[in-house]
Copies of this chain bind each other. A is one copy, B any other.
Amino acid sequence: MHEYPGQHRILVAVDCIIFGFDGVNVKLLLVKRSLTPEQGKWSLMGGFINPSESPDDAANRVLEERTGLKDVYMDQFMVFGNPKRDPVERTLSVTYFALIDIHQYEEQLSGEHSPEWFLLDNMPDMVFDHAEMVTIALKQLRYKAALHPILFQLLPGKFTIPQLQALYEGVYQTEFDDRNFSRKLLSTGLLVKLAEKDKQSSKKGAFYYRLDQSHYEENFEKFLNLVPNPDKFF
């Protein structure tokens, strides 16, 4: 079983940094830790890797077990491996960041396991080094979202341009010019205009759009410059 003799084996966990958007604010999903120590303190959703699982499998399993969410956008992110990060026993954490539309999953999430959404500027104390993970992941989210159309993952299947703009403004904590924003996004060719309008937030009403899925996949890796003056955020 231990074929490489004399080596040190380490517990390996996955932790998911789950961002959501409710139409107004970008939020982060946390759960209460179920193990001692720090039981009951807020924590990222995580779990240990099982013998037959890859870290990616483990992250997807953890997410599904705890929230019922499947087929979520999830990226491997960073390894946190300071030998003292978990005071109980050395544990390596492979982190993932995930993006979901809050409304689509609100019901599943209101259940037994008490996950809760937190505003980014109002985060509770978190276990171990989870606060650091979140800080770095948010930076990474901003970085990646400036170049690639990942934030669409946070929106429902149909959405308006003003909603999209509110999302970008939430992520970058700033305001963009409405007129340039809509033209820039439309010029990517990623959006398909629908007949229907959203009349909730204005009298004129804003057209709904949906993603052009094939165009989205083809252009995902291109550098799109979706954010004005991106340099100022880095």
Contacts and interface: CB of A to CB of B under 8 A. Distances in A.
Given A9-B11, A223-B230, A230-B223, A55 B76 contact: no
Interface string A58-101: 00000000000000000010110111000011111010000000
Does more than half of chain A's interface fall in helix, strand or loop, or is it mixed? loop
A179 interface: no
Contacts of A7: 11, 48
A81 B4 contact: no
Interface in A151-168: none
Report how many copies the assembly holds.
Answer: 2
B56 A8 contact: no
Contact of A4 (B54, B88, B94, B146): B88
B8 A88 contact: no
A24 interface: no
A81 B53 CA distance: 8
B12 A49 contact: no
A1 B223 CA distance: 48
Contacts of A1: 89
Interface in A1-34: 1-4, 7-12
Contacts of A51: 8, 83, 90
Interface of A: 1-4, 7-12, 35, 48-56, 76, 78-79, 81-83, 88-92, 94, 146-147, 221-223, 230-231, 234
6 contacts: A4-B89, A10-B10, A12-B81, A49-B81, A56-B81, A221-B234
